[in-house]
Amino acid sequence: MTALMVRAFNRLVEQGLPRNSPAIIMDPEVLAEQPKILEEVPSWAFSAPNLETPFSIPNEKGEFLEGPGDLKACKEFLEKNIWIEEPHIYFV
């Protein structure tokens, strides 16, 4: 999950919306002048072991992925041997 959160936050940062942006932006030029500091996956997340046996999670229709090569698979979860469809993580 941490890798997905990093991907979602960094997408916003790259679009010019830093992490500590106000809820209401009065002056977009001031916001654009702020440095773009990308988030990183915490080191402890890399040390979490991969599952020995694949763990498959169905989608909302109860359908499972065909395997790790399925184009709908989430690569971050596959790295931990969890087979799940790419979740919706972008909120803006």
Domain boundaries, the chain: 1-48, 51-92
Residue 68, Ramachandran bin (φ over 0: left; ψ between -120 and 50: alpha; else beta): alpha
For 16-73, the pLDDT digits (tens) are 888 788 888 888 888 888 888 999 999 999 888 999 999 999 999 999 998 888 889 9
- Using an 8 Å Cβ cutoff, are 17 and 28 in contact? no
d(CA 40, CA 47) in angstroms, rounded, equals: 14
| pTM, rounded to two decimals | 0.76
d(CA 50, CA 86) in angstroms, rounded, equals: 18
Q: Which DSSP string corresponds to 31-91? A: HHHS--------HHHHHSPPPSS-EE---TTSPPPSSTT-TTB-HHHHTTTEE-BPP----
How many residues in total does the chain contain? 92
